[in-house]
Each structure stands twice: as C-alpha cells, then as structure tokens.
Amino acid sequence: MNPTLRTLSLALVSLLLVACGRKEPAPAAHSGGHVHTAPHGGMLIELGDHAYNLELLRDPASGKITVWVLDGHAENFVRIKAAAIEASVTVGGEKKSLALKAVANAATGETVGDTSQFEAQADWLKGAASVELSVPSIEIKGRRFERLSGKVGVAAK
C-alpha cells in the first residue's frame, strides 16, 4: 500500500475511534468530552467512568416513570438480574418511595429478573412540573453503583 494512503487510512480510523461511532453531538456529556443520545428521549445518568447509563423518562399525563439500563454509549440495552429498582422520587419538594418493577418483553425475550426496562406508575406523579429520581444502589453485571440521581425527562408528544 502507498505510504501516503496508509497514513491517511490510519488517521481516518483514529478519528472514527475518537468520535466513538457517533455521527452528531447529543445531549448527555461524558467525562471524555463526547456526548450520547438517550434512545427514548429521556435523561441519561452515567454510571461509573463510561461503564453504563440509566435513561429516565416519564409521562406526566399517566404518572408513569420508565428506566432503561444501557451500555456506556447509550446504544444497547443491558439486562440486569433484578425484579425491581427501589427509588425515591422528589416532587414539589416532597420525597416519596417508588418501586420500579421489571418489565418483561416477549419480542426481545426479556423477563422479570432478566430485563433492561423498569416502570412504575403513581397518580401523585401526574402533571408534576419537575421530578427527580434517586436510586440508592443498583448492581449491573457484578458492579454496584450507589447514590444515583437525576431529573426525569418528559416523554415527547
């Protein structure tokens, strides 16, 4: 191979690796200076140093909150061995407990105890202007992450 062409090829591959496979910027910034997009339009919470993400989304009309466990680039779902995620939710300055239950999905083969999606519905979440979710701890593939919190994004209409 021509040395100039080889140098250009290596430079292009390096640039693509640095770009993390993303074609455009997205809303969630990571410590490496690049960003990722939440696949459902929610808010991302980074876990560890680029290890995993939680995507938080709510529907204010129904009072439902959904949480997905995602990989470090927020591109792939990561199944965890949990029947529920225990959380506390702050709405209007008041903190309440909420259990987000595992969601089975026949299309993907996910089951309760082996899923990436968790949901909860509460009437007191309906119409809330701002909601913050806190998770004391979550275990993903043998790693424990503690004291996680973030604002819950609103589902686009």
pLDDT for position 34 = 55
Q: Scan for tokens 């591109």, then name that residue.
A: 75
Length of the chain: 157
Which pLDDT tens digit goes with each residue over 80-111?
999 999 999 999 899 999 999 999 999 889 99
Which pLDDT tens digit goes with each residue over 15-38?
333 333 333 323 444 455 556 788
Class of domain 38-154: mainly beta
Kindly report the backbone phi and psi dihedral angles of residue 154, in degrees, each rounded to the nearest multiple of 5, phi listed first. -100, 135
The pTM is what?
Answer: 0.75
pLDDT for position 49 = 86
Amino acid at 150: G
| 3-state class (DSSP) for residue 8 | helix
Report the C-alpha gap between 99 and 116 in whole angstroms: 15
Report the C-alpha gap between 45 and 70 in whole angstroms: 10
Q: How does residue 78 score in pLDDT terms, banded at 50, 70 and 90?
A: very high
